[in-house]
Amino acid sequence: MKLNPIEFSFREFASEMTKLKNEKNFDYLVTIIGEDFGTAEGEENKDDYSLGCIYILENTQTHERISTKTMAEKIDGNYYIQSISGLYKCAEMLEREVYDFYGIRFLGNKDMRRLFLRNDFKGYPFRKDFVASEEYSLEDDTEVSTTTEYNLDANGKVVETTHPLFKEGDFVMNIGPQHPSTHGVLRLETILDGETVKKIYPHLGYIHRGIEKMAEEMTYPQTLAMTDRMNYLSAMMNRHALVGVIEEALGVELNDRIKTIRTIMDELQRIDGHLLYLGCYAQDLGALTAFLYCMRDREYVLNVMEETTGGRLIQNYYRIGGLQDDIDPNFQENCKKLIEYLRPKLDEYVNVFGDNVITHQRLEGVGVFTKEQCISYGISGSNGRASQWANDMRKNYPYDVYDKVDWDQVVLDGCDAQDRYYLRVKEIEQSLRIIEQLIDNIPEGEYYIKQKPIIKCPEGQWYYAVEGTSGEFGVYLDSRGDKSPFRMKFRPMALTLVAALDEMLQGTKIADLIAVGAGLDYIIPDIDR
Binding region for other proteins (CB under 8 A): 116-118, 125, 130, 132-134, 136-141, 177-180, 184-185, 205-211, 213-214, 217, 225-226, 229, 232-233, 276, 291-292, 295-296, 298-299, 312-314, 524-525
What's the distance, Cα to Cα, between the start and end of the chain in Å? 23
The answer to whether 7 and 81 have CB atoms below 8 angstroms apart is: no
Among residues 259, 348, 262, 276, which one has the least CA distance to residue 312?
Answer: 276
Q: How far is the CB of 115 from other proteins (least distance, A)?
A: 11
What type of residue is 230?
A: M
Q: How far is the CB of 272 from other proteins (least distance, A)?
A: 10
Between 159 and 313, CB nearer to other proteins: 313
Between 273 and 367, CB nearer to other proteins: 273
Among residues 462, 452, 466, 404, which one has the least CA distance to residue 256?
Answer: 404
Q: How far is the CB of 478 from other proteins (least distance, A)?
A: 20
Between 19 and 128, CB nearer to other proteins: 128
CA dihedral (335, 338, 344, 349) positive or negative: negative
Between 209 and 456, CB nearer to other proteins: 209
Between 299 and 459, CB nearer to other proteins: 299
Radius of gyration of the chain, Cα coordinates, nearest whole angstrom: 23
Q: How far is the CB of 208 from other proteins (least distance, A)?
A: 6
Q: How far is the CB of 293 from other proteins (least distance, A)?
A: 8
Between 381 and 525, CB nearer to other proteins: 525
Q: What are phi and psi of 206, to 5 degrees?
A: -70, -15
Between 322 and 525, CB nearer to other proteins: 525
Q: Write the DSSP string, 197-222.
A: EEEEEEE--TT---HHHHHTTS-HHH
Q: How far is the CB of 116 from other proteins (least distance, A)?
A: 8
Between 309 and 373, CB nearer to other proteins: 309
Measured CA to CA, the distance from residue 214 to residue 205 in angstroms comes to 16
Q: How far is the CB of 130 from other proteins (least distance, A)?
A: 8
How deeply is 451 buried, as exposed, middle or buried, from its count of CB atoms within 10 A (0-12, 13-18, 19+)?
middle
Helix (H, G, I), strand (E, B) or coil at 422: helix
Q: How far is the CB of 374 from other proteins (least distance, A)?
A: 27
Buried b (16+ CB within 10 A) or exposed e, 185-196: bbbbbbbbeeee
Q: How far is the CB of 529 from other proteins (least distance, A)?
A: 10
Q: What are phi and psi of 171, to 5 degrees?
A: -95, 115
Question: How is residue 520 annotated by DSSP?
Answer: H
Between 233 and 258, CB nearer to other proteins: 233
Measured CA to CA, the distance from residue 378 to residue 390 in angstroms comes to 13
